[in-house]
Structure 1
Amino acid sequence: MYLSACIEWLFKDSAPDFADRIHAAKNAGLSAVEFHLWDDKPIDLIRAALDETGVKLTSFCIGPRRSLVDPAQHGEFLEAVAATLETAKTLGRPPLVVASGFTREGVSLEEQRAEAVKALKQAAALAEEAGVVLVLEPLNTIVSHPGMFLSSTTLALDIIEEVGSDHLRLLYDVFHSNVMGEDMEAVLKGRIHLVQHVQFADNPGRNEPGTGTIDWPAVVAQLRALGYDGGIGLEYQPTLPSDQSIAQARAATGL
């Protein structure tokens, strides 16, 4: 496993200019970074910084965000996928993060799931053509994202299996899963091959590992036992200067 700094939040203190955070991550001994939406970012400067440092981009989000479960938004969603894929091609073709959108009141779970599958099949076909993997992310509805349709890791994996494309995988965020009361080993056992990326933040607070109640050595051991050996996104809001925050995250996780 290797660490990837979410430069949306990390290094913001020492590098106000966004692309400079890639250099800061490299100087901190990290080989990978990730961020959130792309359409407010200096893409040319990011590309140059990645080239200069050799740092890998592990993910960013499809934007603008649109609903998977509302067919009225599917056209705009697919337009966003296409535009984001073009940007991804210039940045090393990293995985692209997809969120579900909000639950439609008065519409059954089955209908909403069917609409999500329909949209994701079309999006996965576009991703396959571009040589990019999409990663579907469940988000917690208790603390951060009330009303979000997809908050269950199990449902997300069910949808991914139904779509049936090698270009759609799971982004498993330990913070969101922990907030929802999931047992990580139970929800990922036998399905770890569907996990493309993992993100860490402690609970409560969504701060660096070691600030909350999550047993990080156990989390890392369980991920290894399940067979995961990919990137670990440090997607948290730091409470310390970034270099110190990353040092604490390393100490808490053993990574």
Structure 2
Amino acid sequence: MQRRKFIEQSLFGGAALLGTPELKNVEYARAFNMKFSPEFGIFKAASGDSLADQIRWGYDQGFRAWENTGLKSRPVSEQETISKTVQQLGMEFGQFVGTMTFEHVTFAGKDASAREAVLNDIRQSVEIAKRMNTKFVHNVLGMSDKKLPYDFQMANAIELLKRIAEIYEPHGIIMVMESMNHKTDHPGMFLHTIPQAYALAKAAGSPSIKVLFDFYHVQIEEGNLLKTLDYAYDEIAYYQLADNPGRTEPTTGEINYVNVLQHLYNKGYRGFMGLEHRTKKPGREGALAALEAYRAIDPKPL
């Protein structure tokens, strides 16, 4: 019996006897229209601790993609388990982080050793991307260099992005760079607005250098979500979400994700939508509430 059919039949049969709220999970067996891509931990209280079990549970609820920001730090055996599970289920794996620092100047500065360390991370990320059967690597641009004028920092970053493009292009890999807000979470980061990320992508001039649009960060730093998204759309290759305040699941804060995601879907976007957040409530109740939130905001087909 197919896995989905088994889940549906089990739920229908059990709910008829028990009359519990779990009956709502029947509809969750249908695939989402948006390619929501959970991170490990969000639904763990409902799915169990095992990495493979979290992915399988996600599939049963309608998710068809997965991502893991901290994948690079996992042993190769765990990476292989994740990749195998995702591919066996016919799912897709999205982004992982190739290089990241929240303390040091990397892209914005001129220090040769720091820049070479970034390039070493980039080379390593190629092999991980192949292992995961993904083309998306999320690279963090580090801290701003307070000793340098902004335009010099931009020039330094553009130069390094072009060198990264030379590494990624032959493999069809796309680096995505995320603007991170200064006001709440990451003061001092070099890349903190979408216009800045857009300018960097345009200057790099490569299909392997694109923008990651994180609704949570953009809402805090800039607002004006739909117009900002529309202007930068041609350079955006990946999206992530969380609500604000609190960085919890959609419907818990101020962002109208029903309108935002329908707008994006109507534009023709069918790529990854990474789920990068906490849950508002603890435990299983919080995990199932987050799951229900994704059904509530899933865009309607055209």
Q: After superposition, where does 1:1-255 map in structure 2 within 5 Å?
A: 2-13=34-45, 14-41=47-74, 42-63=78-99, 65=101, 67-72=106-111, 73-240=114-281, 241=284, 242-254=287-299
Quick one: percent identity of the two aligned structures? 25
Structure 2: tracts of 5 or more residues without a match: 1-32
Work out the CA distance in 1 between the residues paired with 2:92 and 2:267.
25
**CA displacement 1:167-201 (0-9 Å, x = unmatched):** 11111000000011331233233431211111111
Contact conserved, 1:209 with 1:253, CA < 8 A, in 2?
no
Of 165-174 and 90-99, more deviation after overlay is shown by: 90-99
Q: Distance in 1 between matches of 2:187 and 2:231?
A: 29
After superposition, the Cα gap between the structure-2 partners of 1:227 and 1:135, relative to the gap in structure 1 and judged at 3 Å, is: same
Q: CA deviation at 1:64?
A: 5.2
CA distance in 2, matches of 1:4, 1:223: 13
What count of residue pairs does the alignment treat as equivalent?
Answer: 255
Instruction: Tell me how far 1:19 sits from its aligned partner.
Output: 3.5
Residues 37 and 94, structure 2, Cα contact 8 Å, conserved in 1? no
Distance 1:207 1:132, change over 3 A: same
User: Is the alpha carbon distance of 1:4 and 1:189 closer, same or farther for their aligned partners in structure 2, counting shifts above 3 Å?
Assistant: closer
* DSSP-derived class of the 2:145 partner: coil
Residues 60 and 96, structure 1, Cα contact 8 Å, conserved in 2:
yes
Task: Determine if contact 2:180/2:191 at 8 Å carries over to the other structure.
Answer: yes
Cα distance in 2, alignment partners of residues 46 and 128 from structure 1:
25
TM-score by structure 2 length? 0.78
The structural deviation recorded for 1:235 is 1.6
Q: Note the alpha carbon deviations across 1:117-145, whole angstroms, 9 max, x for none.
A: 11111111111122211111111111111
> Structure 1 residues 29 and 80, CA, compared in 2 at 3 Å: closer, same or farther?
same
Q: Structure 1: how far apart are the matches of 2:202 and 2:212?
A: 14
State which structure, 1 or 2, has the greater radius of gyration over its C-alpha atoms.
Answer: 2
Counterpart-to-counterpart distance in 1, 2:40 and 2:156: 31
Task: Provide the alpha-carbon RMSD of the alignment.
Answer: 1.9
Does the 8 Å contact 2:80/2:132 carry over to 1? no
Gaps of 5+ in 1: none
Between Structure 1 and Structure 2, which shows a larger proportion of helix residues?
Answer: 2
Q: What is the TM-score normalised by the length of structure 1?
A: 0.92
